[in-house]
Amino acid sequence: MTQTNEKNHKRGTVATEAGPERALLVGVDWRRRVGSALSAEDSLAELDALARSAGAAVIDRQMQTRDRADSAYLIGPGKVDEIAGLVAGYEIDVVIFDHELTPTQLRNLEKKFDVRVLDRTQLILDIFASRARTSEGKLQVELAQLQYALPRLSGKGTSLSGQGGGIGTRGPGETKLETDRRRIRARLAQLERSIEAVRGIRETQRRQRQSVPLQTVALVGYTNAGKSTLFNRLTGAGVVADARMFATLDPTVRMVTLPSKKKILLSDTVGFIRNLPTTLVKAFRATLEEVTEAALLVHVVDGAGEDADGAMAHVELVLNEIGANETPRLVVWNKSDAPGYGMIPEGAVGISAAAGAGLSELLTRLDAALPGQALVRMQLRIAASDGAAMHRVHEETRILSKRAVDEYYEMEVEMTDAAARGLAQYRHLRCDTV
């Protein structure tokens, strides 16, 4: 076993004292790598983080370099035998592959190892299932799980379930496998109807929000980049934020007031990851719509991550795929207080969402970056007794100066053009575009 594997073995052994499942991870380094720039070692390290987020204790990590996938096992038969020995020796509970397995490969590997075998997609689906909190999120996860499971049903348990008497009913009847497939298809149809209904409700809510002159800003980024921590800092919301991957799945929208007194709607969304299962991308269409409908995307990057540039590039790729390629961006280089924090790219804002550093600059940059919200400066004259108007001024404008003159307040304020139209009746001297 390599030095790296020995190190992982020791770390995993300590972790199992509390009783989590003991996992062995398997990756393949393809000599002709296509697509993601992430190296096989980095991808396996990411799988390690995913497995630990799911509650597993990672005992060992194995890697094999190959030209092409073995049709029976993905990896070579010799490597299969080697891993089978490790599974028995380390008392492994589950073997997790960093690649999608075919139904045949899955069955063959389970027979060889005599323990549960998962692939990367199944692991991510499991994490999503444990994180979903809203009814919509749970429906989306179940849909993705069943879509993935349907072609992978094995022929285990082929006891006859449809035998009966009478003409036309005799014979083998319907096998358990056929029954399972029929039930899954029926449940899939039911889930798709339910999700479409939820989507209709979400669309109604979105139209209601759009009827109010408030723009939506969506936080996007790689999973565990710190989006939810930033969201909580800016809104005071109680969205779950921790070091686990995919800690937040369900979209959350809150109002935020910017320094200019513009009000915006800030949306927290699910984190992206390389090789995110296609079934999940489709299932979480409603969540991704919050991104495509936003006026501005705040791309949160883990500035202390080992592959910050690669993660950023992958998020941009996904955003282009879902039709958000022309939406304006503001890049936020997060975790400035963490070791290994890299150089901030030109045009980005450096912050620490956890420590609250750099947030004032971020809010100012949000003010400037939002399109279609010209700022105007206006002189107002409002009766001191007009409490409603004064409340509106404090809510919707930034007061630059204020003085009492007789029974009135004369103020110079800065606000959005939309707010200026609402307060036009109180205009005293001038209204200038800032």
Q: What is the pLDDT along the chain (434 residues), one digit of tens a residue?
A: 444 443 333 333 333 344 799 999 999 999 876 554 568 898 899 899 899 988 899 999 999 999 999 999 999 999 999 999 999 999 999 999 999 899 899 999 999 999 999 999 889 888 888 777 667 778 878 888 888 888 777 644 334 344 444 433 344 445 677 788 888 889 989 988 887 887 777 677 666 655 455 788 999 999 889 998 999 999 886 554 444 445 445 567 888 888 877 788 898 877 788 777 666 666 565 556 668 778 899 999 999 988 899 889 988 988 887 788 888 999 999 999 999 898 999 999 999 999 999 999 999 999 888 865 667 888 999 999 999 999 888 888 888 899 999 999 999 988 777 778 788 889 886 545 44
Predicted pLDDT at 31: 85
In the chain, domain spans? 3-127, 216-369, 375-433
CATH architecture of 375-433: 2-Layer Sandwich (3.30)
Q: Return the closest-CA partner of residue 335 out of 225, 228, 235.
A: 225
Residues 6+ apart with CB under 8 A from 389: 382, 383, 423, 426
Predicted pLDDT at 117: 94
Contact, 286 vs 195, CB < 8 A? yes
Rounded to whole angstroms, the Cα distance separating 213 from 271 reads 28
Task: Name the DSSP letter for residue 355.
Answer: T
Please determine whether the domains at 216-369 and 375-433 fall in the same fold group of CATH.
no
Predicted pLDDT at 269: 77
Domain 3-127 maps to which CATH number in 3.40.980.10, 3.40.50.11060, 3.20.20.70, 3.40.47.10?
A: 3.40.50.11060
Contacts 24+ apart (CB under 8 A), 238-241: 239/268
256: enclosing H helix or E strand: strand 252-257
The identity of residue 192, as a single letter, is: E
The two structure tokens encoding residue 400 = 């630059």
C-alpha distances in Å from residue 173, one per residue of 154, 167, 169, 181, 330:
18, 13, 7, 15, 61
Contact, 332 vs 348, CB < 8 A? yes
Rounded to whole angstroms, the Cα distance separating 244 from 155 reads 36
Predicted pLDDT at 175: 64
Rounded to whole angstroms, the Cα distance separating 142 from 19 reads 27
Residues 6+ apart with CB under 8 A from 113: 83, 84, 87, 92, 95
Rounded to whole angstroms, the Cα distance separating 28 from 98 reads 7
Task: Name the DSSP letter for residue 18.
Answer: G
C-alpha distances in Å from residue 354, one per residue of 201, 233, 243, 252, 273:
34, 8, 12, 19, 22
Contact, 267 vs 292, CB < 8 A? no
Residues 6+ apart with CB under 8 A from 222: 271, 272, 273, 301, 302, 305, 311, 312, 314, 315
Decide: residue 326, CB within 10 A, 0-12 exposed, 13-18 middle, 19+ buried: exposed
β-pair partners for 219: 268, 298
Rounded to whole angstroms, the Cα distance separating 118 from 129 reads 15
Phi and psi torsions of 213, nearest 5°: -70, 65
Predicted pLDDT at 90: 96
CATH architecture of 216-369: 3-Layer(aba) Sandwich (3.40)
Coil vs helix vs strand at 149: helix
Predicted pLDDT at 207: 64
The two structure tokens encoding residue 341 = 């924090």
Residues 6+ apart with CB under 8 A from 397: 261, 413, 414, 415, 419, 423
* Dihedral angle computed from the Cα positions of residues 271, 314, 306 and 247, in that order, rounded to the nearest 10 degrees: 10
H helices present in 118-226, as ranges: 120-131, 135-149, 176-211
Rounded to whole angstroms, the Cα distance separating 357 from 353 reads 7
Angle at CA of residue 140, ends 135 and 144, nearest 5°: 150
Coil vs helix vs strand at 202: helix
Q: Return the closest-CA partner of residue 373 out of 222, 262, 242, 286.
A: 262
Q: Return the closest-CA partner of residue 253 out of 269, 242, 271.
A: 269
Predicted pLDDT at 201: 75
Angle at CA of residue 12, ends 6 and 15, nearest 5°: 150
Predicted pLDDT at 78: 97
One-character DSSP codes across 201-250? HHHHHHHHHHHTT-EEEEEEEBTTSSHHHHHHHHH-------SSTT---S
